[in-house]
Amino acid sequence: DAGVIQSPRHEVTEMGQEVTLRCKPISGHNSLFWYRQTMMRGLELLIYFNNNVPIDDSGMPEDRFSAKMPNASFSTLKIQPSEPRDSAVYFCASRTGEETQYFGPGTRLLVL
Amino acid sequence: SQKIEQNSEALNIQEGKTATLTCNYTNYSPAYLQWYRQDPGRGPVFLLLIRENEKEKRKERLKVTFDTTLKQSLFHITASQPADSATYLCALGGGGSQGNLIFGKGTKLSVKP
């Protein structure tokens, strides 16, 4: 299995631009998570889907962030407009069942 | 609010010694606790899970304890090797978190030869 796939791996953009991060979960996994990791705040959950349905989006920082999961094999996290404080590493993770999460390699986002 | 603390940001030990990492939590009653390893530039990788009714779990050179009274987990790496150098994250799950995991900020372990 290829594991969780994220793209792009690195993104540099200017403030105000739209950013779209993509994730392909492990086949057969029914839950998908988006996290943001910074030195200051550690790994924070942004949103969590179960069977393609958003279950908990309380971690989404503000209306500039949105996430979709149109089918079981694809999810996007969009930031519009982006701001320098959004600079972080964004991880996607998936799981089947209740427990262990499998993380992708992350997208390193830098907003100038 | 729920809070997880890992005892130190960094831990330096000599090869061959036992590394002990601590995870404390407050305002939470997890059904299980997990430990993950994260290498630079990579996503976290699952290592061990221990449930609330278990006191200790082992896997090769790794040992995890879980004390729900103290609200603490200890993570031990015996006979440590330079290859064990990484950041280790604890994560709490269950306990009404809707299936989410709540992560600590991690402890960066450096094992010197």
Q: Alpha-carbon distance B82 to B53, whole Å?
A: 33
Task: Tell me the chain A residues in contact with residue B49 when contact means C-beta distances shorter than 8 Å.
Answer: 99-100
Q: Average model confidence (pLDDT) for chain B?
A: 92
Task: List, run by run, the mean pLDDT of 10-residue segments along chain B (113 residues).
Answer: 83 96 91 94 95 93 95 96 97 73 94 95
A22 strand-pairing partners: A7, A76
pLDDT for position B94: 77
Tell me whether residues A100 and B103 touch, CB distance under 8 A: no
Interface of A with B in 63-92 (CB under 8 A): 91
Tell me whether residues A100 and B102 touch, CB distance under 8 A: no
Q: Which of A48, A100, A102 sits opposite B100 (nearest CB)?
A: A48
Percent of chain B residues past pLDDT 70, beyond the cut: 96
Task: Tell me the chain A residues in contact with residue B43 when contact means C-beta distances shorter than 8 Å.
Answer: 4, 91, 93, 103-106
Percent of chain A residues past pLDDT 70, beyond the cut: 98
pLDDT tens profile B3-18 = 888 977 899 999 999 9
Which residue in A74, A68, A77 sits closest to A94, CA to CA? Answer: A74
Please give the structure tokens belonging to residue B43. 């996503």
